[in-house]
Structure 1
């Protein structure tokens, strides 16, 4: 559809001027009534966080999201853009996105007086109406609100001319959504500059007699104040936010699994049961007394682990010529040391990091093994070792080599069915399932295991 390019043409359409919060409210109500997802890609918040966010938006409140690292706060803030109208009119060339019906800056008011219905109109997509700033200690008031532009002064304008102002990020997001990440990191004297934005909905720049009624939704994220040493949200600023919403990690293993599938970019296939092991490992670390739970275990831990396990399978393929690289249980222990930096251990646990990771991994594999293969007759696997034979495997053992050592295994088809590997699994998937069963039998004390120089031997 051709969009109007002048004020007069815009007045001839049914378009109505709404504030950004009215816009968000109307579109959210429409989404709720239609049953459509208003927050695509957000996992595990359906019954906890999202209802609170919806109430805050419907009430027209600015909000702050409190939660440990890697809980999806930034992702949630960015999905709010989808609740804005796809296109909105602005005065062409306006730095702060003035609406043609109600211009507020000096330049746009002057143009509206001079041009009348010929005032040029441009259109902005909703993706252009979102601004985001990571709050760092060196952030200034000028960055957020604005300051005098020395270049404009040098061009001949006087210091008293309001058009010498260079607008900051907040006014440049006028008629949109402004997100401030890690709000406590912002110096307290800078937080004071946000008072007027949140309450009086305007800004003040140096000594100018300037009042810009801003139309903006302000969303901030923060870590819980009771353990952050970097700063705090000052009390008057907290009071000006309409809603304070606490986020959390996925409450169920199934939700963690959905998140991993959604976010991980895998270099080689990683079977679902192995992703479930990663999800249970992440959950186990979050519940472990050896881990500093005030810091948390980010969802990025699980995502990175899954990606690295896939990369390990691809590495095996490159080194051994394996034609069908699929991740196996043997790929997991080798990637854990690279993830130490994502977890903070309690005082007194120094030197035990690998031991703690190893224990949690064994628990995760055993739980997944019991959950997936409970009640299944695995005698075909254990009988293979009745006469004292062994099977050799490892991260550089090809899948076909592993399968050749075992030969035909009674009951394998039922195992593959339980592990959701389909009617025609590849050799790599079969090898992954077989190794998972061998590890599960070992962890349930039905099979011995020994690892020497990176090579694992399963036997009677």
Structure 2
């Protein structure tokens, strides 16, 4: 399985005062300039600015890159499990690895550009001796899941009664406890499921996004906030008929539609990258799960407004791996390898991840089983195209049987195969899946047998514990 691992952070620059920072030649850039210039530099160098993303190369990514170059706030519209949050989190990689901030600054202000009265006073009083710190780019990304109980104080801020009690008057800007968006000054704030915010919270965001000022408890604090607001939403909710207010909708410069992977290879890449597997799962079985997921997205029995998340196939891969590890542990197998017989376990646990149409009550398992068989048949056609399996069919028609099951080891399964004389058919089947172990070979032959059954060339009998082909 291939997983993207971000590079380890380097050491922060040496400057520790404003004077040392000036001597180093450091230049101030706005957040949007920083994102734009770093993105263009990566593109010019042939680097991938979006590691770990699959299936968006020709659709979503170009739109997002244009939005960032234009300096727009962005909202991603799409159904669940389309990679919206992952895409937003990759924006961190376009920030400078280290950026200077005034030491102790609540809003992470740049030493060259203080924005709060307190920090401006410190800069004026201490001059080049002003202490600075270095913030890593990971600290400049904040994420909030919009929930109905989110308050204005959470996102924007509120008066801090403790500061008032210290003797400051109520109109003093220093009495404010800032919320998530002001604290993300010179950074990125991501709000997932934006329409779930109450309307009054959406209203509170209007001035922050457009005029860059803060309105709290009846008075306005002018803060030239430098923040990029990015968000995700379901397309159905992101309308004035849904739960988004039109003025806030208008504040986002770019609305980008995401989608599920359009190609099978991209679907497979997502499963390989995201699934945490406890056993070896051959690529052919991952392909079955990918085809299964895609079939569900096209099925009229499934509520497509809810979508079929990529997590469906990921959870399926993890489930069949767990089934293989369970068998290996109980039966004493040296290596845990998933086989076709483990696919049935995925149907049992994945049913709750799908929303079916109203008229399909009671048929959920039947629908899932049918589409899984369709996915297996498609994988068999692709993997064994042109391979003559007639010798195996003849052996079974002559009375031979092949037994397998969730607790049948790969070695026992292979030992029970009918002898085909001097034929190398079993080796040819194994070669199609590039097998390197008994478990993988057993998986390949099971897949071929299941394909023959689905093509109605052989029979199959299963009681839940044992499956017999014959």
- TM-score range (shorter-chain normalised) is over 0.9
TM alignment of 1:151-300, pairs within 5 A: 151-225=162-236, 231-300=242-311
Residue aligning to 2:430: 416
1:455 & 1:413 partners in 2: Cα distance?
Answer: 25
TM alignment of 1:22-61, pairs within 5 A: 22-61=33-72
TM alignment of 1:305-320, pairs within 5 A: 305-320=316-331
Give secondary structure in 1 for the equivalent of 2:37.
Answer: helix
Give secondary structure in 1 for the equivalent of 2:271.
Answer: helix
Question: Does the C-alpha gap of structure 1 residues 105 and 141 become closer, same or farther in structure 2, counting only changes over 3 Å?
Answer: same
**What whole-Å deviation, never above 9, does each CA across 1:45-98 have from its counterpart, x for those lacking one?**
000000000000000000100000000000000000000000001111001011
Residue aligning to 1:73: 84
Residue aligning to 1:354: 365
TM alignment of 1:389-408, pairs within 5 A: 389-406=400-417
2:375 & 2:267 partners in 1: Cα distance?
Answer: 13
Query: Aligned pair 1:140/2:154, yes or no?
Result: no
Asked whether the equivalents of residues 104 and 213 of structure 1 are also in contact (C-alpha less than 8 Å), the reply is: yes
Deviation at 1:231, TM superposition (A): 4.9
Query: Aligned pair 1:330/2:341, yes or no?
Result: yes
Asked whether the equivalents of residues 227 and 294 of structure 1 are also in contact (C-alpha less than 8 Å), the reply is: no
TM alignment of 1:338-377, pairs within 5 A: 338-377=349-388
1:58 & 1:32 partners in 2: Cα distance?
Answer: 12
Q: Gaps (5+ residues) in structure 1?
A: none
For normalisation by structure 1, the TM-score amounts to: 0.96
1:451 & 1:190 partners in 2: Cα distance?
Answer: 57
Question: Does the C-alpha gap of structure 1 residues 209 and 273 become closer, same or farther in structure 2, counting only changes over 3 Å?
Answer: closer
Give secondary structure in 2 for the equivalent of 1:38.
Answer: coil
Give secondary structure in 1 for the equivalent of 2:388.
Answer: coil
1:147 & 1:373 partners in 2: Cα distance?
Answer: 65
1:24 & 1:393 partners in 2: Cα distance?
Answer: 56
Give secondary structure in 2 for the equivalent of 1:221.
Answer: strand
Question: Does the C-alpha gap of structure 1 residues 78 and 114 become closer, same or farther in structure 2, counting only changes over 3 Å?
Answer: same
Residue aligning to 2:4: none
1:381 & 1:152 partners in 2: Cα distance?
Answer: 82
Query: Aligned pair 1:450/2:461, yes or no?
Result: yes
Deviation at 1:298, TM superposition (A): 0.2
Give secondary structure in 2 for the equivalent of 1:139.
Answer: coil
Q: Which segment is superposed worse, 405-414 or 291-300?
A: 405-414
Deviation at 1:229, TM superposition (A): 12
Asked whether the equivalents of residues 187 and 231 of structure 1 are also in contact (C-alpha less than 8 Å), the reply is: no
1:119 & 1:154 partners in 2: Cα distance?
Answer: 29
Q: Which segment is superposed worse, 384-393 or 179-188?
A: 384-393
Query: Aligned pair 1:383/2:383, yes or no?
Result: no
Residue aligning to 1:437: 448
Deviation at 1:227, TM superposition (A): 9.1
2:464 & 2:15 partners in 1: Cα distance?
Answer: 72
Asked whether the equivalents of residues 185 and 231 of structure 1 are also in contact (C-alpha less than 8 Å), the reply is: no
